[in-house]
C-alpha cells in the first residue's frame, strides 16, 4: 500500500503543478528536430551518458527555441553538462 500511496501523492503533486502553469500550444516538430536529437544521443553516448529518445528530442527542441528545460529528472542534469541546453533555475550552457 505504501507504494500506491506514494504514486498517488506524486500524481496529485503533478496535477497541482500543471494547474499552476499556463496552457501552451504543442510545439510543431520537424525532421531537423529528430536529426538533432540523434546527434545529441550520439554525443552523449560517446561520453558515457545515456538518455531516452524523448529526452534528446526535448533537448533538440529546447535548443532550437532557446528555452530552458523544466524538469526534476536527474538524467537532464547529466545531459545538460554536455549539450547546449539550460535547465530552468540553473546556470548552464
Q: What DSSP letter does each residue of 37-63 carry, written as one string?
A: HHHHHHHHHHTT----HHHHHHHHHHH
Q: Exposed, middle or buried, 38 (CB in 10 Å: 0-12/13-18/19+)?
A: middle
Count how many residues are written for the chain.
93
Per DSSP, the residues of 63-82 read HHHT--B----HHHHHHHTT
- Local confidence band at 6 (pLDDT 50, 70, 90 cut-offs): confident
HSE-up of 13 (CA within 13 Å, CB side)?
A: 7
**pLDDT tens digits along 12-58:** 988 898 888 888 889 999 999 999 999 999 999 999 999 999 999 99
Please name each of the domains of the chain with its CATH number.
24-93 (3.40.50.1010)
d(CA 2, CA 25): 36
Amino acid at each position: 500500500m505504501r507504494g500506491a500511496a506514494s504514486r498517488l501523492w506524486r500524481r496529485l503533486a503533478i496535477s497541482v503543478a500543471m494547474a499552476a502553469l499556463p496552457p501552451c500550444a504543442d510545439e510543431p516538430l520537424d525532421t531537423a528536430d529528430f536529426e538533432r536529437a540523434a546527434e545529441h544521443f550520439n554525443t552523449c553516448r560517446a561520453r558515457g551518458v545515456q538518455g531516452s529518445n524523448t529526452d534528446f528530442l526535448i533537448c533538440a527542441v529546447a535548443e532550437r527555441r532557446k528555452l530552458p528545460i523544466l524538469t526534476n529528472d536527474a538524467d537532464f542534469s547529466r545531459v545538460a553538462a554536455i549539450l547546449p541546453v539550460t535547465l530552468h533555475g540553473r546556470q548552464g550552457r
